[in-house]
A = this chain, B = another copy of it.
Amino acid sequence: MKTILPFLALGLLLGVSTATAADTLPSWSDGAAKQSIVDFVAKVTKEGSSDFVPVAERIATFDNDGTLWCEQPMYFQLIFALDRMKALAPQHPEWKDKEPFASLLKGDLKAALAGGERAMAEIIMATHAGMTNEEFEQIVKDWIATAKHPKFKKPYTECVYQPMLELLAYLRANGFKTFIVSGGGIEFMRPWTEKVYGIPPEQVVGSSIKTKYEMRDGKPVLIRLPEVNFIDDKSGKPVGINEHIGRRPIAAFGNSDGDLQMLQWTTAGQGPRFALYVHHTDAEREWAYDRNSSIGRLDKGLSEAQAKGWTVVDMKRDWKVIYPPVKQ
């Protein structure tokens, strides 16, 4: 034992930062992706260096679907909407003869979505509007607590990526403020993001419908209206970031072409910048898809990432585990 003590001491002296990074991102394989993250964080947190970024400006934005949690076999919010439709169907006998509801209630998702964006909007409005914001919050909380992923048979909040949870914590430990910037509904995410990701409601940016303030029985409420307010996707992401955060992120994380403008906007700022794409390459543990997928297509973004040298995570190679340990 005695003989290795000096080496241990030497290791403690020399290896502090490496050891910390390894401990902090344990689900990441050693390789270029992990190294690029650790290098960037070391660079912007080194006081006195020309790359140093003050804590207040360490803004990191994360897409949600396909970046922090799964988006297969379809967006989880769409599954939520379908579950809501089934629950609401008894109050809507007219849905039996009206598309896209009729097809959906027969279980024919393909026929229902043949109506494109308009069909999608009808499903969202029928299930997401018409109640107060607090009623909707409770509906989401109830669903997220009980619904299970069709393939993995576990709650959706456990279909999150363990390496990304570690990354969020690692960035926050280094003074970053972490935000979600998602095409998903802002009020669909807020009820659970703090518990699952450590991201509070005020740091969630997403798509939204309009709300209206009114008095009901002498009590003020916000009513959710069947009218789109903002679509936080593609070129909407920099707009949403500017509106909600008011400063440009120095690091951004996505997985699809819907995140491309966010990554462009982030990396076009002055000083050190970081952009990362999660590339779904793991058909065995998760899914493998990119340029030709209808969900989470990564085509232009993949080409631009390669051309610009952004970090591309090869999920199969770079992540030792995909999901958090199963809760007992």
Contacts and interface: CB of A to CB of B under 8 A. Distances in A.
Given A212-B239, A213-B238, 4 more contacts: A201-B246, A211-B239, A213-B239, A219-B268
B238 A186 contact: no
Sorted nearest first, the 9 A-B pairs with minimum C-beta distance are A201-B246, A213-B235, A202-B245, A213-B238, A190-B246, A220-B264, A220-B268, A220-B265, A201-B247
A56 interface: yes
Nearest to A245: B202
Interface of A: 56, 59, 133, 177, 186-187, 190, 194, 200-204, 208, 211-214, 219-220, 222, 229, 235-236, 238-239, 242-247, 261, 264-265, 268
A246 B220 CA distance: 16
A244 B244 contact: yes
Give the most central of A194, A201, A202, A214: most B CB within 10 Å: A202
A265 B213 contact: yes
Contacts of A186: 243, 246
A258 B135 CA distance: 27
9 contacts: A186-B246, A187-B246, A202-B202, A202-B246, A211-B239, A212-B235, A212-B239, A213-B261, A220-B261
B219 A56 contact: no
A32 to B, nearest CB: 26
A216 to B, nearest CB: 11
A133 B244 contact: no
A222 B261 CA distance: 11
B264 A202 contact: no
Contacts of A265: 213, 220
Contacts of A208: 243
Contacts of A244: 202, 244
Contacts of A220: 238, 261, 264-265, 268
A245 B201 contact: yes
A232 to B, nearest CB: 12
Nearest to A200: B56
A133 B204 CA distance: 22
Contacts of A56: 194, 200
B133 A242 contact: yes
Nearest to A56: B200
A247 B202 contact: yes
Nearest to A219: B268
Contacts of A190: 246
